[in-house]
Every structure is written in C-alpha cells, then in structure tokens.
Amino acid sequence: VRERTLIAVKPDGVQRRLVGQIMQRFEQRGFKLVGLKMLQVSDDLLSQHYCELRTKPFYPRLQEYMTSGPVVVMVWEGYKVVQASRTMVGHTNPLEAQAGTIRGDFSSHISRNVVHASDSPEGAQREIQLWFQKKELLNWDCFD
C-alpha cells in the first residue's frame, strides 16, 4: 500500500538545526519526498491541525510553542509510510521514546518533542490537505 504522511519539524527542531538530520532519516529509509515547505504557523492553522486537542489543558502551551518560530513541513510517500514514520519518530513523550528514534535521540520533554508525524492514513490525508495545496505535491519517478 503506497501511502503519504505529513511530517513536521517543530520550531525547536528548526532552531536546533535538526532539519537536515531528520530529513536524512526518511531518505535513508527509502521514502520519497513529494512536498516540502517552511512556514510560520498561524493560530488558525494550528487549531485546525490539532482540532482534537483544542480543549486540552496543555493547548495554550502547545500553541505558544508551535508558533514560536518557523516549522518545516513535508510529505513523504512510500509503503506503509504512516506506521513506519511513527516508529521512526518514537513515543510522544521523549522520556519513553527509544534510543534510535528521532525523539529518543533528540529530545527530552513532551512539550518540546521536535517532530510531528500523522497518526493514521486518514489523519495523514486530512493533515496533508490542510497544510498543502494540490499543486505543491509533486509526483516524480524514483524507479521503484
């Protein structure tokens, strides 16, 4: 099953110059980059992205963090990429993320956890539509 998923390097990841290392892990794994951009997230976009978390007590802190600087958002394509990316990213709480995962290697606090990865194929579809216009997603051949 060829899938697409949305991966975002959060503001702490950008500030800590981790974008290249994070992208490298997805390339190395053999996934295909089909969309990429850097942007300053608005409160409105963020609340749509995290529509299920809007009422959580930590949402104001999450909003402050996610809008504190630019994010790098990308769409990766490949076989079971949604599930594989969740494994590569690691547990939401970096303290429970295994070494070798992005969060396990680069972060130590749940409110500064470096990356976002879509949690299901349906979630990925929704998030990709929210963050990207159709023309910003490129189909290209990688001989696979």
Over the window 35 to 54, marking each residue x when it contacts ligand CMP by CB under 6 A and - when it does not, the resulting string is: ------------------x-
Nearer to ligand CMP, 13 or 35 (CB): 13
137 in contact with ligand CMP (CB under 6 A): no
Determine whether 116 is an active site residue. Answer: yes
Is 10 annotated in a binding site? The answer is: yes
Residue 143 beta carbon to ligand CMP: minimum distance, rounded to whole angstroms: 33
> What does the DSSP assignment read for the chain?
-EEEEEEEE-HHHHHTT-HHHHHHHHHHTT-EEEEEEEEPPPHHHHHHHTTTTTTSTTHHHHHHHHTSS-EEEEEEEEETHHHHHHHHH--SSGGGSPBTBHHHHH--BTTB-SEEE-SSHHHHHHHHHHH--GGGS-------
92 in contact with ligand CMP (CB under 6 A): yes
Q: Cite the active site residues.
A: 116
Site residues for ligand CMP per CB under 6 A = 53, 58, 61-62, 92, 110-111, 113, 116
Detail the residues annotated as belonging to a binding site for ATP: 10, 58, 86, 92, 103, 113
